[in-house]
């Protein structure tokens, strides 16, 4: 029997929302390999997280609850995940793409002598073997790959799958206590980016700004538009580099990948590093004073002009239209 082990990521005591779509991918794979879908929850005091994931259509939840796992430490977590994967006969170990899973799974793959495939957006069959589709080269290209090993570790992009709904069923939860391998690394502190807005990866609407906004104050002029939609605010790498906003807001090849229903690109040229992170948005609106910028090749709708003039006009017109 070969199973699929899903690493369920949580934050501040709750299951992260992007687990939903990733679980859909996990279920597809479990059906394909003909095994069980087992969710793994790792941390300290994570009983509530285990109960939440137990309702998301999995066959079983394994919970490793230990004070030594309170904070994410790469080697400790990798040793735990790899041992549970072996105990549960996992042929596939997967997680949604996050900064944590990107760090963790390559280590797990080494421990399991498994293939590691990042950023998967689709599954195919290639001569009866599962093949995986992943974007590369700032999403100008897709690569189709297969594993040369029996076991495979995957990170999957939550933007490519629909969310798994709660099922009526509650899966059984089993505790496990694998060996925790330590390497002397300690967690010092976490400085959170405080924001009352939804997370970029969860938001239905994203308002993003680029270097064209000119300053941190100019960047802040995105706020009223974001307020209208309860949108998340995003940024280009150039805007982050210029210090207009925190790095956590960066969208693109080296930042977050988003696929909202509506995306406002304000003062954004459309460099491919940025486009890689937002090209799958359903409706893209560009506001930029230079009609020659590449963002206009991508936008569903575009308005040419100075963002500082157009943004207040747009907020006013939208407020009327929504009233």
Please, which of residues 153-172 interact with another protein by CB under 8 A?
Answer: none
- Residue pair 39/176 in contact by the 8 Å Cβ criterion: no
Please, which of residues 13-72 interact with another protein by CB under 8 A?
Answer: none
Site string for another protein, 248-277 (x = CB under 8 A): x----xx------xx---------xx----
CA distance 41 to 21: 17
Measured from the CB of residue 47, what is the shortest distance to another protein in angstroms?
Answer: 22
290 binds another protein (CB under 8 A): no
Q: How many residues bind another protein (CB under 8 A)?
A: 89
* Interacting residue with another protein among 10, 27, 158, 237 (CB under 8 A): 237
CA distance 198 to 283: 19
236 binds another protein (CB under 8 A): no
Cα three-residue angle 239-240-246, rounded to 5 degrees: 130
317 binds another protein (CB under 8 A): yes
Helix axes 99-112, 74-87, angle to 10 degrees: 60
96 binds another protein (CB under 8 A): no
Cα end-to-end distance, the chain, whole Å: 57
Measured from the CB of residue 9, what is the shortest distance to another protein in angstroms?
Answer: 9
Element holding 303 (H helix, E strand): strand 301-304
Nearest to 28 by CA among 141, 148, 156, 134: 156
Judged by CB under 8 A, which stretch of 35-43, 61-69, 206-214, 300-308 contacts another protein?
Answer: 300-308
CA distance 236 to 2: 42
Judged by CB under 8 A, which stretch of 42-50, 87-95, 157-165, 186-194 contacts another protein?
Answer: 186-194
């Amino acid at each position: 029997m070969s199973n699929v082990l899903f690493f369920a990521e949580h934050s501040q005591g709750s299951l992260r929302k992007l687990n939903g779509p990733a679980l859909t991918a996990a279920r597809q794979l479990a059906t394909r390999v003909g095994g069980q879908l087992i969710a793994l929850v790792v941390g300290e005091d994570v009983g509530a997280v285990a109960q939440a994931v137990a309702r998301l259509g999995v066959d079983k939840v394994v919970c490793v609850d230990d004070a030594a796992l309170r904070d994410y430490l790469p080697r400790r977590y990798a040793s735990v995940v790899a041992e549970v994967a072996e105990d549960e006969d996992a042929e596939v170990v997967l997680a949604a793409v996050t900064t944590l899973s990107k760090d963790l799974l390559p280590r797990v793959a080494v421990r399991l002598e498994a293939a590691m495939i990042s950023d998967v957006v689709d599954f195919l069959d290639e001569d009866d073997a599962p093949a995986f589709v992943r974007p590369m080269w700032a999403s100008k290209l897709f690569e189709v790959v297969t594993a040369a090993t029996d076991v495979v570790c995957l990170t999957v992009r939550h933007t490519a799958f629909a969310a798994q709904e709660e099922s009526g069923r509650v899966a059984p939860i089993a505790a496990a206590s694998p060996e925790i391998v330590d390497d002397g690394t300690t967690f010092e502190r976490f400085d959170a980016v405080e924001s009352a807005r939804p997370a970029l990866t969860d938001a239905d609407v994203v308002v993003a700004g680029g270097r064209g906004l000119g300053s941190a104050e100019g960047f802040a002029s995105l706020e009223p538009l974001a307020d209208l939609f309860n949108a998340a605010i995003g940024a280009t790498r150039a805007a982050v580099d210029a210090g207009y906003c925190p790095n956590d807001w960066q969208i693109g090849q080296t930042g977050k990948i988003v696929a909202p229903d509506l995306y406002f690109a304000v003062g954004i040229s459309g460099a491919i590093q940025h486009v890689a992170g937002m090209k799958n948005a359903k409706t893209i609106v560009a506001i930029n004073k230079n009609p020659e910028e590449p963002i206009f090749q991508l936008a569903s709708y575009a308005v040419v002009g100075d963002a500082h003039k157009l943004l207040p006009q747009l907020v006013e017109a939208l407020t009327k239209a929504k009233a």
